[in-house]
Amino acid sequence: MQNKGLIKFFAILFALVSIYQLSFTFVSNKIKDDAKAFSGGDPDKELRYLDSIGKEKVFNLGFADFTFDEVKDKQINKGLDLEGGINVILQISVKDILKGLSNNSKNPVFNKSLADATANQKGNQTYIDAFFEAFAANSKGTVKLASPDIFANRSLQGEGGVDFQMSDAEVQKVIRRKVDESVESAFGVLRKRIDKFGVTQPNIQKLGESGRILVELPGAKDVDRIKKLLQSTAQLEFWETYKIDELGNFLVAANEALKKTEVTKVEAKKTVKDSLSALLTDTKDSLDSKKGNNPLFDKMVSQGGGPVLGLFAPKDTAVVNGYLKRADIRVLLAPEFRYAKFVWGKATQMKDAKDKSIEAVELYALRGNRDDVAAMSGGVVTGANPSFDQLGKPSVSIEMNGQGAKIWEELTGRAFTQKSNIAIVLDDIVYSAPGVSSGPIAGGRSEISGSFTLDESTDLANVLRAGKLPAAADIVQSEVVGPSLGQEAIDNGTTSAIVGLLIVSLWMMVYYGRAGWYANVALAVNLLFLFGILASLGAVLTLPGIAGIVLTMGTAVDANIIIYERAKEELRAGKTLEEAIKTSYSWRGAMSSITDANVTHILTGAVLFIFGSGPIKGFATTLLIGIATSLFTSIFIARIFLDRNLRSKNDLTFVTKFSEKIFNNFNFDFLGMKKWTYMFSAVVVVVSVVSLATNGLDQGVDFVGGRTFQIRFEKSVDPEVVKDELTKVFGSAEAKVFGNDNQLKVTTKYKVQEHGIQADEEVNKLLFENLKHHYSAGLTYDKFVNAYDGKNVGILQASKVGPTVAEDIKTNAYWAVLGAMLLVFLYLMVSFRKWQYSLGAITAVAHDVIFVLGIYSLCYKFMPFGMEIDQHFIAAILTVIGYSMNDTVIVFDRVREFLAGKTKGNFSEIVNQSINTTMSRTINTSLTMIVVLLIMFVFGGESIRGFIFAMLVGIVVGTYSSLFIATPVLVDTISREDKTTVEKQHEAAA
């Protein structure tokens, strides 16, 4: 080996750098453990402790001091599946942005195109592309984007704007830039909100040009609070309100009209007087006793007063909205009220007639106008801070600019004169509607009060200071992981890694003796380098990432196995140990096989990294880094020990008494079996295809959209009972045992297309109300839903994937698999210079993929672990492609060598001999992979068991296909003329 000193220097330097990078992770973890012990389980106290020492020097290396914040920035970060926390993808509504840029154009072609883009947006197609496509189809050239009533409006004119003489292509460039600016603005607003929220190491990033923004908040626990913080557009408005005295007659008329059109399930109990006051007056009879055939009033839980028209249960707000939006109901409004805008207040707790605490929402009517514009917008607000009102309750004080102060004085003066109210509305929710009792309010100062908690007033002030979003931000994908579940994942991952390392190391010693020790040292150095690179890159370690590290242990010794097996062959051929080592490390020896095998790994890993997201990207990252570090350590570090062995004149045989006769003189007619293996594989493929067509696959929410909850109970539950209970409220639901009998995975599509906070809260509350009888009486809604340290019952993990995101994920999955197969096909064709090699390899890979899909289709209904088709499964399939190619390349490389050599026999005999000589390396490389996968399957935890099972089946089938499918296809597709040429060359050489 040339330049040994330089390689040693770089290896030592790399090791020292890795230790240096990893030291920050150890120090950071030690400090966090101290903070956790100090806080006694109080997350707020723990956070305050860590914030207080952020600027303190906590790590001294002699040549440099580091503060805790600096140490924290250099550590290996744990993903949400290990740390716990919340991960969401927000979709900035490009539709709203386009409507705003058009000044809410009424052009029918424009509005139809918006609707068509929403309905017909394809997977991985951006909304703006879908809109332009729909506009071109709808306008047919008769209407231009630069029309004055679309984008050539006053607000978009001027330099860099839209001129009515522009072509559609020119307008599209301007609009794309404006949309990008709006998304960038939203990104900035969200970053400001998150920075002030108070979680350690938040991550926020834009996802390409999709208008989507990824937000990761490790360690965050209050689910509902965070979703409100992220989704609030902060659209603050000030509206004048109507009073119940003014709209009472309308409500009575609406109720009477609804009687004639609504089919009620309850018969009238008594005659109801034609008067709103009679229905709402507080008498000895409760409101419940008056319920009957009154579609509107029957839903009231309490009477209103002043600007409040009535109080309703949150579950009835959608129905009441539907009533009040109906054309036949709105026509009943008197002319002076025709622009009335009905909105809801913030949910509050109240007592019903039986003194039972219930949740209710107030209904308001705002003084609307033709343009639906508020009397004053929140754009005049210059400052917002949490405070306390006169009663000592949390509130938010706001300050306005000069223009706002003037309008506010006029508004409050009018309200004082008319004895009316001013509603303070944020994102179409009335937070308070105070009256004015002391005359006009000057100075531009006001207060937003309501039934706030301290956290809510802090968050509200935060979003108002950060500014409003340019458009609605909907959570289209989310995942919530509790800290206790994250700790379980760490424990499972650590166990599988340690056991895998021990077994692989033991096998290398048992099979290769002293050479196996050298491989184990190289493996240990490889792990040091791998973690050092992860730390230096600031990579995020996930549970699939740990799986990637454990897989790296298997692949790290693959190169050593190929080298050692080649050295054994050279020793058997009579070469000296020095010659055997030199040959095995040459291109003619093992290097061509190692290169081809690892390039196919890199190609599939790169595809996985490009198309994957979140934990899958973490898996791809560790896999790619592991390939690079294992190649370096296997080729160079192990070689250093081998050369040292040569210098010390120690005997080295690469075998032990256990392994010296294994696969010696192995002779099996692989090609003679092809008729039977073709038949077997054909049957498997046909059965798999039929099952896929009839039985289908258990597609996870990643592919079809939906909500998934991992729920742990105090004792074992019957999944069918839970399924029936939830189906009654969700319409459809699935419940499966997930790991232990007291843990279920619940899936539903209930309101998955509704991205608002209310929909998510409604689902959580319905889950709690319908499952709480399975728990002891002490479990509250907050404890059931929110994460906290030590949590072991309730929702441990929750995820939501919207339909559009699911379609994108599915499209990415198809392209990832097809792209990986195409790349590998092209590479092998270039490397082996014959298309027959590529065809044989791709046939084997296609066979393996269909086999794995067939197993999942046939078995998912009765297997005791999850077999969902999701992103993790696609990652497994791509990994299978890589490792199937690994085995195939090892065989093909030897076939190519033997066909170019002097081996005696006909073409099939030469190929058979080449396959037989690879059996030791083929079985050994596959065996190490199968062992580590089995370890992860047993110890890795329920959440990745289906993922590991797919790889396990794929590796086993891949080994079979490389021997019995790939090579026979190669032989069968080579022409008779080429076979004859090879046979004549070998006869002449003999």
* Mean pLDDT, rounded, for 14-21: 89
Whole-number pLDDT of residue 262? 66
Distances (CA, A) of 302 to 236, 296, 799: 28, 12, 36
**Mean pLDDT of the region 747-753:** 84
What is the model's pLDDT at position 797?
82
Calculate the CA 854 to chain-centre distance: 26
pLDDT of amino acid 451: 67
Q: CA separation (Å) from 27 to 18, 24, 51, 322?
A: 15, 5, 16, 58
- pLDDT of 226 over the 80 cut: no
Amino acid at 86: I
- CA dist 577 and 846 (Å) reads 41
Beta strand pairing call for 740-748 and 734-738: antiparallel
- Cα 205 from chain centroid (whole Å): 13
φ, ψ for residue 648 (rounded to 5)? -85, 5
Distance CA 875, CA 813 (A): 9
Q: CA-CA distance, 139 to 939, in Å (whole number)?
A: 60
pLDDT at 939: 82
Cβ atoms within 10 Å, residue 720: 9
Question: Which pLDDT score is estimated for 251?
Answer: 92
Q: Return the structure tokens found at 67.
A: 């503060």
Describe the crossing of helices 514-537 and 558-572 by its angle, rounded to 10 degrees.
150
Q: What is the pLDDT of residue 267?
A: 41
User: Measured between alpha carbons, how far is 922 from 945 in angstroms, rounded to an integer?
Assistant: 26
Q: Is the pLDDT of residue 606 over 60?
A: yes
CB 499 within 8 A of CB 553: no
Q: What are phi and psi of 873, to 5 degrees?
A: -65, -40
Q: What is the DSSP letter of 57?
A: E
Mean pLDDT score, 42-70: 82
Could you tell me which residue, 607 or 753, shows the higher pLDDT?
607
Q: Phi/psi at 422 (nearest 5 deg)?
A: -120, 120
pLDDT of residue 690: 94
Residue with tokens 């030791």: 920
Q: How confident is the model at residue 855 (pLDDT cuts 50, 70, 90)?
A: very high
Q: What is the pLDDT of residues 249-284, one digit of tens each?
A: 999 999 999 888 765 433 433 333 344 444 444 433
Q: How far apart are CA 364 and CA 320, in angstroms?
A: 12
Residue 201's pLDDT is 65
What pLDDT was estimated at residue 309? 92
Average pLDDT of the chain is 82
- pLDDT of 366 reads 93
**Which range has highest mean pLDDT (223-237, 313-327, 898-912)?**
313-327
φ, ψ (nearest 5 deg) of residue 205: -150, 150
CA 467 centroid distance within chain: 27
Two tokens, residue 432: 């308070």
* CA gap 784, 401 in Å, rounded: 44
Give buried/exposed letters for 327-353 (b at 16+ CB in 10 A, else e).
eebbebbeeebeebbbbbbebeeeeee
Q: Could you tell me which residue, 867 or 275, shows the higher pLDDT?
A: 867
> Residue 316 gets which letter from DSSP?
G
Say how far apart CA 96 and CA 126 lie, in whole Å: 14
Is residue 888 a contact partner of residue 844, using CB atoms and an 8 Å limit?
A: yes
pLDDT in tens, 664-680: 777 888 888 889 999 99
pLDDT classification of 902: cutoffs 50, 70, 90: low
What are 173-225's pLDDT values in tens digits?
Answer: 988 888 888 888 888 877 777 766 656 567 787 777 677 888 887 777 677 77
Q: What is the pLDDT of residue 274?
A: 42
DSSP string of 588-653, one letter each residue: IIIIHHHHHHHHHHHHHHHHHHHH--THHHHHHHHHHHHHHHHHHIIIIIHHHHHHHHHHTT----
- How many other C-beta atoms lie within 10 A of the C-beta of residue 73? 14
Percentage of residues in the chain having pLDDT higher than 70: 92
Any idea which of 195-199, 245-249, 815-819 has the lowest mean pLDDT? 195-199
* Residues 790-800, mean pLDDT to the nearest whole number: 82
How much is the pLDDT for 290? 46
What pTM did the predictor assign? 0.67
Mean pLDDT of 51-57: 84
Highest mean pLDDT pick, 304-313, 486-495, 550-559, 699-708: 304-313
Checking if the pLDDT of 365 tops 90, the result is yes
Q: What is the pLDDT of residues 946-975, one digit of tens each?
A: 888 888 898 899 889 988 998 899 888 988
Look at residue 33 and tell me whether its pLDDT is greater than 60.
Answer: yes
Paired residues of 789 in beta bridges: none
* Greater model confidence, 640 or 552: 640
Kind and range of the H or E run holding 580: helix 577-584
Q: How much is the pLDDT for 685?
A: 93
Taking the C-alpha atoms of residue 585 and residue 642, their distance in angstroms, rounded to an integer, is 11
